[in-house]
Amino acid sequence: MKKGFHLCYNVFEQKLGKEFPQNTEGGIPMKDNTTIGKKIQHQIKRFSSRITKDLTKPKKKFVSQMLFGIQAARDVKLSNISRSLNEDIKLIKTENRLSRHIINKDLTENINKALIEDGAVRITQDTVLALDLSDINKPFAKKMDYLSEVWDGSRGKVGYGYWICEVIGANVNQDTPIPLYSELYSQEADGFESENRQILKAIESVNIYTKGRGIWTMDRGADRKILVGELNKMGQRFVIRCKGERDFIDCKGRVRKVINLLKRIEYKESYKVKIDKEGYIEEIELQLGKIDNLFIEDTEVSLVVIKGFSDEPMLLITNVEKSAQELLEIYLTRWKCEESFRFLKHEYHLEDVRVRRYTGLRNTVVFIHAVFYFLSVFLGRKLRLKILLSKILEKAKRFFQIPSFKHYAIADGIFRLLFNLRWESKGIEKEEKDKRQLLFEFT
């Protein structure tokens, strides 16, 4: 029986051309690295085929190559992605092909739809749906399409670049984010209506598949009347951080300013939270209060006041019927999602994108979003893939333990496993067919 098994295995290796070098790296056989790398490449192809069902065959191949190349190069520049594919043709030919595909069709809607549909089954009634407006700053760009004014937080002034509207789901007691939606836009582009329209478009797109499940959580600036009113009309629950100058209407129809409401609030709950300040963990105790039966125009809301983070209290408006402590935990879960936004922006050098056409920029952003979904959700969905994920984490070079937000380590491990691994041009359908044929020959 063993002899027959080894014979079949040897034939299988010969037919697939799997003759691995026996040298080692850091005590780990290179053969093992190559095997795991090929498994990752296979899973990238499987994932790509799931999110490109409605696309043509050339576009499917292009998307799978981009998802592989971004992770193998840990970069979004087409030149580095082309090198990571390591094809048997001139490098310029590969780059020209990728450049042609990335600008001739906008895939944002197709990929967002596929990811929302796939991720919606993981959204429960109380899943936090964190919506964030981030940006890409391109201070030295001159010829990129539709460059618009954005706020450069690192420099503290207005710069030029593009906005990104993102939605990521997360559960309060879990560490796995669920990327759902990502779209790059510019207020200078043709067809742009308003920032409110972009936010509502994202909410509507996600709501088609979540069917009202989840709690929308947004930062300051989203407490504007039009957004609160539209969320209420759509039957969506929300927790939104509020500005200090917001006016409310009480149950008697009187206009009440926040400063007057804070004078009569009673802090009935306390909550301890740990804050990481430049590597130093500090535990602080917060005081929580809540005022119900307030209105923003026709929308009834509650005002949650949290004292202790800074000199000024944090203000949250919500239509969710929960305690002040539970509402604070929902908003703090949004901070987990902000780490996801930073990961997407910095791990793959998104601000270093060199594509000049607007369609190409939009595609690059949604490809990064798909890569994050692959790392965060797809690799952890089945037991066999969880085993593969554990092997990836083993390959990540870490001096200390893997942090709770493990995606940096996963991206690092995949980069090391895919580095110098040749892209196999054979599609997932062809791979599956060859495997079935080999099994048929063995039997």
Q: Is the predicted pLDDT of residue 413 greater than 70, yes or no? A: yes
CA-based angle 332:374:427, to the nearest 5?
170
Q: Is the predicted pLDDT of residue 144 greater than 70, yes or no? A: yes
Q: Which amino acid is it at 407?
A: H
Taking phi first (over 0 means left), then psi (-120 to 50 degrees means alpha), and beta for anything else, what does residue 253 get? left
Structural tokens at position 339: 């780490």
Where are the extended beta strands (E) located within 186-339? 215-218, 237-241, 247-250, 255-257, 267-277, 280-296, 299-307, 314-318
Please list the residues that pair with 148 across neighbouring strands. Answer: 161
DSSP, res 406: T
pLDDT of 120 reads 95
pLDDT of 391 reads 53
Read off the pLDDT of each residue in 32-44 and give the average, rounded to a whole number. Answer: 84
pLDDT of 381 reads 64
In this prediction, residue 179 has a pLDDT band, given cuts at 50, 70 and 90, of very high
pLDDT of 9 reads 40
DSSP helix/strand/coil, 342:
helix
Taking phi first (over 0 means left), then psi (-120 to 50 degrees means alpha), and beta for anything else, what does residue 23 get? beta
CA-based angle 273:402:335, to the nearest 5?
35
Q: Is the predicted pLDDT of residue 27 greater than 60, yes or no? A: no
Read off the pLDDT of each residue in 22-49 and give the average, rounded to a whole number. Answer: 72
pLDDT of 271 reads 85
How far apart CA 245 and CA 90 sit, in angstroms, is 60
Read off the pLDDT of each residue in 166-192 and give the average, rounded to a whole number. Answer: 91
CA-based angle 150:152:154, to the nearest 5?
165
How far, CA to CA in Å, does 86 sit from each of 61, 65, 79, 89, 421?
Answer: 15, 11, 11, 8, 8
More confident residue, 292 or 440: 292
Please tell me the total number of residues recorded for the chain in this structure.
443
How, if at all, do strands 215-218 and 128-137 pair?
A: parallel
Helix %, strand %, coil % of the chain (to 5): 45, 20, 30
How far, CA to CA in Å, does 347 sit from each of 212, 331, 414?
Answer: 32, 25, 12
- The H-or-E segment that residue 96 falls in is helix 91-104
pLDDT of 394 reads 54
CA-based angle 12:15:17, to the nearest 5?
105
In this prediction, residue 323 has a pLDDT band, given cuts at 50, 70 and 90, of very high
Q: Tell me the average pLDDT of the chain.
A: 82
Span 330-353, pLDDT tens digits: 998 887 777 777 787 888 889 899
How far apart CA 94 and CA 92 sit, in angstroms, is 5
In this prediction, residue 388 has a pLDDT band, given cuts at 50, 70 and 90, of low
Residues with Cβ within 8 Å of residue 431, at least 6 apart in sequence: 42, 45, 424
| Nearest alpha carbon to residue 129 among 240, 223, 214 | 214
Q: Whose structure tokens read 């504007």?
A: 224
Percent of the chain with pLDDT over 70: 81
Span 211-247, pLDDT tens digits: 999 999 999 889 999 999 999 999 999 999 998 888 8
Read off the pLDDT of each residue in 419-439 and give the average, rounded to a whole number. Answer: 61
Give yes or no for a contact between 214 and 127, defined as CB atoms under 8 angstroms apart: yes
How far apart CA 58 and CA 60 sit, in angstroms, is 5
How far apart CA 32 and CA 95 sit, in angstroms, is 30
Burial (CB count within 10 angstroms: exposed 0-12, middle 13-18, buried 19+), residue 399: exposed
193-195-201-202 Cα dihedral, nearest 10 degrees: 150
In this prediction, residue 174 has a pLDDT band, given cuts at 50, 70 and 90, of confident
Q: What is the pTM of this model?
A: 0.83
Structural tokens at position 147: 């460059």
Domains (range + CATH), the chain: 21-100+382-442 (no CATH), 108-346 (3.90.350.10)
Q: Is the predicted pLDDT of residue 169 greater than 90, yes or no? A: yes
DSSP helix/strand/coil, 76:
coil
| Nearest alpha carbon to residue 203 among 271, 125, 112, 124 | 112
In this prediction, residue 172 has a pLDDT band, given cuts at 50, 70 and 90, of confident
pLDDT of 294 reads 93
In this prediction, residue 181 has a pLDDT band, given cuts at 50, 70 and 90, of very high
How far apart CA 329 and CA 318 sit, in angstroms, is 13
| Nearest alpha carbon to residue 60 among 46, 76, 41 | 46
Give yes or no for a contact between 414 and 64, defined as CB atoms under 8 angstroms apart: no
